[in-house]
């Protein structure tokens, strides 16, 4: 059973971590540019990564007010900036 503690104050919220570099270059893409979304050779992993790339591209499209496309070609998931 988990112990319940009482009268423990919540510490102040503060950010102490450094800003980490972006893994994918959405902000640097110009129209027509693309990059490979890294995944293994496993077919299931490729489908999961393609879905994950679509979600990520949608997020950045909304954030940057741009348009991105995701396609799987030759077993590689690739993300393009389209507009």
pLDDT tens digits, 17-56:
667 788 889 999 999 999 988 766 666 677 788 888 899 9
> Max CA-CA distance within the chain?
59
The label of the residue with tokens 């499209």 reads 61
**Per DSSP, which regions of 1-83 are E strands?**
34-37, 68-73, 76-81
Residues 8-21 have a mean pLDDT of 75
pLDDT of amino acid 17: 65
DSSP, residue by residue, 41-61: S-HHHHHHHHHHHHHHHHHHH
pLDDT of amino acid 39: 67
């Amino acid at each position: 059973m988990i112990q319940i503690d009482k009268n423990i104050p919540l510490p102040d919220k503060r950010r102490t971590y450094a800003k980490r570099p972006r893994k994918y270059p959405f902000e640097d893409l110009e129209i027509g540019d693309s990059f490979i979304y890294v995944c293994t050779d496993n077919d299931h992993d490729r489908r999961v990564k393609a879905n994950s790339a679509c979600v990520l591209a949608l997020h950045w499209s909304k954030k940057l007010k741009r348009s991105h496309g995701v396609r799987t070609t030759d077993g590689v998931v690739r993300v393009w900036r389209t507009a």
